[in-house]
């Protein structure tokens, strides 16, 4: 076990890294951050911020010589970086799990190989592959890049083979998947923590709403039948075991109108849909990331209150800070801002979580605050 007063490392300086730093420091660890942005949210509060790209050997050597263990805040760290560090210090989650999660072709092939359901898909690497895929996948469909797509980026809605070809060209003919667009009833997610000894702790299933491909709200507990919740948890646990996973894992699901539960994708790190755990659970997903990185047992995931988390995008700023005093008029609302210097359209600047004895009351509070921040109330 790696105990408090040790130094931990995190690759990536965004908001997920920032919340990891806050969790680690609150229980007595020091944290180094590696990120090329001198103004990164995590770097600004870390004990040491190495301002360097992920591939800079000198920075990696320094981090590995001073940190007892290293984690990542996102999955697109270069494979050679993880390999370099793994040869010198514990890195959790490991590079093999990250490699699967970062590539949609590998990810969905791996999931299907476990006998777990996904939406029908075909891998596309060439225009010839694409032509064949359009005959095998029911249209409309979604063309998604295999790597580097998030928050709706790198995706095209495909109505015809001509649409598919145009989208493929716009994606610079990068490796993709063509995936059937399923009839959705709900979008769900399961966040779990798995330690080095295989012990697991699972959070309640979250119910997610996306707007323009970006997560807007997460409501917990999800308004789904207990059997569906149990199935989602079992599928996520099976995935973690098969990956021999160590860390925090998020698994996103589609629940179709026919009642079928499909795995959409996974993230080998804390997830936006788990931010409510900062305020509504015994142990936050970021403390779990610290605990699993350090070989400690996962903390309790007990839900202390129904909660609704709402993302705050840069659009809300409109040249000035939003009227936060309107949010603070609600004792059950908790505001989290990420320390980003510039608000841009679509950029995640923070979130707030509303807590209430009943989920419907938390949802009503969340929408009242949204309106107030927009100036509608």
Q: Would you say 181 and 141 are in contact if contact means Cβ atoms under 8 Å apart?
A: yes
For residue 150, pLDDT over 70 is answered with: no
For 344, other C-beta atoms within 10 Å of its C-beta total: 11
Domains, the chain, with CATH or none: 7-91 (3.40.50.20), 120-180 (3.30.1490.20), 184-374 (3.30.470.20)
End-to-end CA distance of the chain: 51
Q: Tokens at residue 112, please?
A: 């299907």
At residue 377 the predicted structure's pLDDT band, cuts being 50, 70 and 90, is very low
Lowest mean pLDDT among 3-12, 52-61, 152-161: 152-161
For residue 289, what are the contacts with CB-CB under 8 A and spacing of at least 6? 20, 23, 71, 193, 247, 248, 269, 270
pLDDT in tens, 99-134: 999 999 999 999 999 999 999 999 999 888 888 888
pLDDT in tens, 326-348: 999 999 999 999 999 899 999 99
Determine the Cα–Cα distance for residues 184 and 178; give it in Å rounded to an integer. Answer: 17
- In this structure, what are the phi and psi dihedrals at residue 121, rounded to the nearest 5 degrees? -150, 160
Residue 113: strand, helix, or coil: helix
Nearest to 147 by CA among 170, 169, 119, 171: 171
Beta bridge partners, 247, equal: 194
3-state DSSP percent of the chain in helix, strand and coil, to 5: 35, 25, 40
């Amino acid at each position: 076990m790696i105990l408090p007063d040790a130094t931990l490392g995190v690759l990536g300086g965004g908001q997920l890294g920032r919340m990891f730093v806050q969790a680690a420091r609150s229980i007595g660890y020091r944290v180094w951050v590696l990120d090329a942005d001198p103004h990164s949210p995590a770097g600004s509060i870390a004990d040491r911020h190495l301002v360097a790209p992920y591939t800079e050997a000198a920075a990696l050597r320094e981090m590995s010589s001073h940190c007892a263990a290293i984690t990542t805040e996102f999955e697109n760290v270069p494979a050679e970086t993880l390999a370099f560090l793994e040869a010198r210090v514990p890195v959790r989650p490991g590079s093999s799990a990250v490699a699967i999660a970062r590539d949609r072709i590998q990810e969905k092939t791996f999931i299907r190989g476990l006998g777990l359901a996904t939406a029908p898909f075909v891998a596309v690497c060439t225009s010839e592959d694409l032509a064949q895929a359009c005959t095998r996948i029911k249209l409309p469909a979604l063309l998604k890049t295999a790597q580097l797509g998030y928050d709706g980026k790198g995706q095209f809605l495909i109505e015809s083979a001509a649409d598919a070809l145009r989208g493929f060209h716009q994606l610079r003919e990068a490796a993709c998947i063509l995936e059937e667009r399923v009839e959705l009833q709900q979008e769900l997610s399961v966040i779990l923590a798995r330690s080095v000894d295989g012990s697991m702790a699972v959070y309640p299933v979250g119910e997610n709403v996306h707007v323009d491909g970006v997560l807007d709200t997460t409501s917990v507990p999800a308004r789904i039948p207990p059997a569906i919740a149990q199935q989602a948890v079992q599928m996520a646990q099976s995935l973690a075991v098969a990956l021999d996973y160590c860390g925090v894992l998020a698994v996103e699901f589609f629940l179709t109108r026919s009642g079928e539960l499909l795995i959409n994708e996974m993230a080998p790190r804390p997830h936006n849909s788990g931010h409510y755990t900062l305020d509504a659970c015994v142990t936050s997903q970021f403390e779990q990331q610290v605990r699993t990185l350090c070989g400690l047992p996962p903390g309790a995931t007990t839900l202390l209150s129904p909660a609704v988390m709402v993302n705050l995008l840069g659009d809300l700023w409109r040249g000035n800070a939003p009227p936060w005093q309107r949010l603070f008029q609600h004792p059950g609302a908790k505001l989290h801002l990420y320390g980003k210097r510039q608000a841009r359209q679509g950029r995640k600047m923070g979130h707030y979580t509303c807590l209430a004895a009943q989920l419907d009351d938390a949802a009503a509070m969340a929408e009242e605050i949204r309106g107030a921040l927009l100036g509608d109330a």
